[in-house]
Structure 1
Amino acid sequence: MMSRNAIKLLFLLPVCLSMFGCKEMDGFNDVVSQDTTKPEKVTNIRVENFNGGAHIIYDLPKSPNLLYVLAKYRINDQVEGETKSSYYTDTITVNGFAADTPHEVTLYAVSRANIMSDPVSVTVHPNKPVYQLVAPTITLTSDFGGVNVKAQNTLKREIGLIFVAFDDNTGVMEVQDQLFTREETIDYSVRGYSSSERRFGVYVTDQWGNISDTTIANITPLYEELLDKSKFRVYQLPTDSPIGYNWILPNLWDGRNDGDGWHTVDGVRPPFVCSFDVGNRYKLSRFVMWARAGEYAYGHGNPKVFSLWGSSSAQPRDIQLPLVAEEGAQIGDWINLGNYRFPDPPSGASPRQSNAADEAFVRSGVSFDVPLNAPAVRYLRLSIAETWSGGSSAHVIELSLYGSLNN
């Protein structure tokens, strides 16, 4: 297994330097005064602890050339923390402690000439850090082609989940994937494995390089395969949306994710629906959607909110699908297999200002999971409730579906 020190070296540097930063540097480095008088110390110190850190409250000295208060402390065995707070406030925050144990913090008042006061020490006792709160909630279970991890991040703080798995070539546990999130409920899958037993693990890290113990389980991934698109057929139903611009439905599975797709006519109301037969009864695991890229990436008729419906009936009857329905809802011969929202632009830009990286994200295809409890089906209906433009037509370039045969 990869050692904990090796894991720390792998992730501490990039996490600290590129994602979060290990110090708060607020531009207080320049000497802006020739007054070299040593400032007085801060006084009347009080502490308010929180998870992984503390707010330290104090009375500022009367020194007229005071610029900021500096806190120095040790975050963990390898990292020292440093925080600065201007003379406009009476509070400084220290954060990132590895454990809910007493930690010494040294405070300095610093003048405009960069002269430091005598040190003042204060002990903080942070509550249990968030990464240690998340780690015990982790559960690992089999998923199609890999492993699924669930966890609870009740404080909704930024944490990282690092996935490791036994590597047949190196003979040790190797890092396979990582997820950084502040979501309260974490439900994430790592795929790409054969359906043979393998040792998987997950540990939690944070922006300060703290690392939890690793949750490990021996798991056999469920078998999945790419559905054979040569067996797909149009299953036209009266309530399907009319086709526009000669972008016919078979384009949706022609294997070209950069060409024409399925496109409805303009001037109809959502949901925009198409129906097709995948040729056999499958327990679906996931699907990849290629939306229209380039200038269309986060606009026009590209799906924003949509659902996948399925049926295992021999000849499922038509039904008008609702705009919104709960997952698992059954209407006539059709059951809601899942409700989805296309991800926002990864850059964080607004949809109308998406950049080249966002367009590349769309062009590469986006994967969506089908819930494990969804039934096996042969017929599918894609139902788009809302497009990124909010307009009166919809389009998708390509769909690839994965699952296991269930005849």
Structure 2
Amino acid sequence: MIRSNLSIWLSITVLLLLISSCDDNEVKRTNSDDTIPPSPVTSVEYKPLFGGARFFYTLPKDEDLLHIEASYTNDKNKTYSFSSSYFVDSLDVYGFGDTASHEVQIYAVDRAGNKSEPVSINVTPLEPAISRVGKSLEVKPAFNSFFVDWKNELEQSINIYVDFSFTQNGEKKEFTSVFSSNLPEERRFVENLKLNSDEPVSVKIRVADIYDNITEPIDMGNVSLLTDVKIPKSEWYLPPANDSMGGVPQAFGNGLEGRLRYLIDDIIDRGDNLNFMHTHSRGRTGDPDDGNMPWNVIIDLGAEYKLSRIVTHQRHSGGINNVNRGQYYRYENVGIYEMYVWDEDNSEWVYVTEHMIPVPDGLSELEFVKKGEAGDQAYMYPDDPKFTKPTRYFRYRATKGFSANYTREDANCLSEITLFGQKVQ
């Protein structure tokens, strides 16, 4: 029995050595001795794509074939190359900035890096992504800002260059903001413009891709911005927990270290100051039997205002050094909320809008802290910025937390609510 097992192991060892030897010889042959290029692809056809082309072909029968490569040189003398494994029979090429004819060279490449003779194909692509995005651009005025909407159904990586200028105190000023995205729909803001409504902003936009193509400036005309101010909190009042208005109870926020009054003190939670409300999982009324969410924060503004936007701050609890993400965009914080204003004429709450706080992607711990400390802004009417009807009472209705992709009703905390608008004279 022992001899039999020993014989088997010896046989396996010899076989492995032979395979290894063969593999070594093959590697040496294909990586050092082989200078013979593979045969070119044949029967090449293409299908036009938006800003590109998809090539179909018959592979050569060379045993050491590695991949198929295609390349072209644009009018700026820059060459782009694309490759596809020999396991597939097609190859996509992108980056054409127009619908003119372009020459593409297709090669077969072996394991030693040898290239076949090129097969030259002239292709006429469909409309490129940059011009399609350019046609979808919209610019709308907002409060002390304006925003740009666009569609990118091809989801290609693009850069949007927003060139804007205005004259202030007799001096012309020019700026450029750059936004990058590959999302199918996008909205980006140009913010913090301290301009009056009679100081219009001239806007032109260029759309570029990663292949060195860029549109001519697209004139979006002049934009007259809307103006608002931060509403002072000195006159604000928060009714006690479970006091109702229009059938809606005030939230309970005094659980653990939290206090409801911290929401309107202009101090945000930075992890070491414990400045937040906490529902202790009984936020609706303070009675555990009534559950946690949705809970409502009702604010008496002290006077009538037309509201324009809101900035909210989350609980941080990220440690005394204030460099860790902590709870930002995570558990216990509010991820989705609704806004209402009180209609005095009809004695009822009027729905304004719902807002989902987006979770930033790809940030470092410190960047999360900076983003969280800046707060999350939302417009009362995000698609058509304007003021609400005059109201003295505002309601913030928290409906979901961030957990499990905004599906859980486990938000206990909120640090600060700040409102913007104009006082009704």
Q: TM-score, normalised by structure 1?
A: 0.79
Q: Tell me, in whole angstroms, the C-alpha distance in 2 between the residues paired with 1:406 and 1:179.
A: 40
Q: Tell me, in whole angstroms, the C-alpha distance in 2 between the residues paired with 1:406 and 1:161.
A: 38
DSSP 3-state at the match of 2:234? helix
The one-letter code sitting in structure 2 at the alignment partner of 1:83 is: F
Residues 14-45 of structure 1: CA deviation (Å, up to 9, x unaligned): xxxxxxxxxxxxxxxxx835211121111100
| Equivalent residues of 2:400, 2:411 under 8 A apart | no
Shift >4 Å, 4+ stretches: 167-172
Q: Tell me, in whole angstroms, the C-alpha distance in 1 between the residues paired with 2:264 and 2:75.
A: 53
Match of 2:371 in 1: 361
Match of 2:315 in 1: 292
Structure 1 alignment gaps of length 5 or more = 1-30, 318-332, 349-353
Match of 2:177 in 1: 176
Match of 2:9 in 1: none
Q: Tell me, in whole angstroms, the C-alpha distance in 2 between the residues paired with 1:99 and 1:288.
A: 43
Match of 1:6 in 2: none
The one-letter code sitting in structure 2 at the alignment partner of 1:284 is: L
The one-letter code sitting in structure 1 at the alignment partner of 2:277 is: W
Q: TM-score, normalised by structure 2?
A: 0.76
Name which of 226, 232, 236 aligns with 1:232.
236
Give the RMSD, CA atoms, in angstroms. 2.6
Aligned pair 1:189/2:220, yes or no?
no
Q: Tell me, in whole angstroms, the C-alpha distance in 1 between the residues paired with 2:392 and 2:160.
A: 36
Give, in angstroms, the shift of residue 251 of structure 1: 1.0
Q: Tell me, in whole angstroms, the C-alpha distance in 2 between the residues paired with 1:158 and 1:404.
A: 40
Residues 41-98 of structure 1: CA deviation (Å, up to 9, x unaligned): 1110010111111111111111222212221113553642111222222211111211
Q: Tell me, in whole angstroms, the C-alpha distance in 1 between the residues paired with 2:129 and 2:314.
A: 37
| Equivalent residues of 2:133, 2:150 under 8 A apart | yes
Give, in angstroms, the shift of residue 177 of structure 1: 4.5
Distance 1:345 1:141, change over 3 A: closer
Q: How does 1:45-64 map to 2 (within 5 A)?
A: 45-64=44-63
Give, in angstroms, the shift of residue 341 of structure 1: 0.8
| Equivalent residues of 2:334, 2:411 under 8 A apart | no
The one-letter code sitting in structure 1 at the alignment partner of 2:398 is: I
Distance 1:80 1:343, change over 3 A: same
The one-letter code sitting in structure 2 at the alignment partner of 1:182 is: L
Q: Tell me, in whole angstroms, the C-alpha distance in 2 between the residues paired with 1:249 and 1:313.
A: 25
Q: Tell me, in whole angstroms, the C-alpha distance in 2 between the residues paired with 1:356 and 1:102.
A: 49
Distance 1:298 1:71, change over 3 A: same
Match of 1:22 in 2: none
Match of 2:388 in 1: 375
Name which of 209, 218, 221 aligns with 1:217.
221
Q: Tell me, in whole angstroms, the C-alpha distance in 2 between the residues paired with 1:154 and 1:198.
A: 29
Distance 1:190 1:78, change over 3 A: farther
Name which of 292, 302, 319 aligns with 2:333.
302
Give, in angstroms, the shift of residue 120 of structure 1: 0.9
Distance 1:87 1:79, change over 3 A: same
Q: Tell me, in whole angstroms, the C-alpha distance in 2 between the residues paired with 1:394 and 1:76.
A: 58
Distance 1:209 1:173, change over 3 A: farther
| Equivalent residues of 2:38, 2:65 under 8 A apart | yes
Answer with 48-57 or 71-80: which moved more: 71-80
Structure 2 alignment gaps of length 5 or more = 1-29, 283-290, 319-325
| Equivalent residues of 1:138, 1:215 under 8 A apart | no
Q: Tell me, in whole angstroms, the C-alpha distance in 2 between the residues paired with 1:386 and 1:309.
A: 16
Distance 1:154 1:65, change over 3 A: closer
Match of 1:20 in 2: none
| Equivalent residues of 1:347, 1:358 under 8 A apart | no
Alignment coverage as a number of residue pairs: 355
| Equivalent residues of 2:56, 2:89 under 8 A apart | yes
Name which of 237, 251, 262 aligns with 2:262.
251
| Equivalent residues of 2:239, 2:250 under 8 A apart | no
Distance 1:281 1:183, change over 3 A: farther
* Bigger relative CO (Cα 8 Å, ≥ 6 apart): 1
Match of 2:152 in 1: 153
| Equivalent residues of 1:75, 1:98 under 8 A apart | no
Residues 255-302 of structure 1: CA deviation (Å, up to 9, x unaligned): 111241222232423112111022333333322211112332233320
DSSP 3-state at the match of 1:113? coil
Match of 1:403 in 2: 421
DSSP 3-state at the match of 2:337? strand
Q: Tell me, in whole angstroms, the C-alpha distance in 1 between the residues paired with 2:415 and 2:293.
A: 18
Give, in angstroms, the shift of residue 359 of structure 1: 4.4
Larger radius of gyration: 2
Give, in angstroms, the shift of residue 150 of structure 1: 2.9
Residues 375-404 of structure 1: CA deviation (Å, up to 9, x unaligned): 233311111111124354521111222223
Distance 1:393 1:85, change over 3 A: closer
Q: How does 1:82-97 map to 2 (within 5 A)?
A: 82-97=81-96
The one-letter code sitting in structure 2 at the alignment partner of 1:271 is: P
Aligned pair 1:81/2:80, yes or no?
yes
Match of 1:105 in 2: 104
DSSP 3-state at the match of 2:292? coil
Give, in angstroms, the shift of residue 125 of structure 1: 1.5
Aligned pair 1:118/2:117, yes or no?
yes
Distance 1:306 1:224, change over 3 A: same
Q: Tell me, in whole angstroms, the C-alpha distance in 1 between the residues paired with 2:350 and 2:313.
A: 24
Match of 2:205 in 1: 202
| Equivalent residues of 2:37, 2:115 under 8 A apart | yes
Distance 1:393 1:97, change over 3 A: closer
Match of 1:278 in 2: 301
Residues 227-250 of structure 1: CA deviation (Å, up to 9, x unaligned): 112222214533122222353333
Q: Tell me, in whole angstroms, the C-alpha distance in 2 between the residues paired with 1:156 and 1:388.
A: 26
Distance 1:46 1:269, change over 3 A: same
DSSP 3-state at the match of 1:296? coil
The one-letter code sitting in structure 1 at the alignment partner of 2:310 is: F
Distance 1:78 1:39, change over 3 A: closer
The one-letter code sitting in structure 2 at the alignment partner of 1:245 is: L
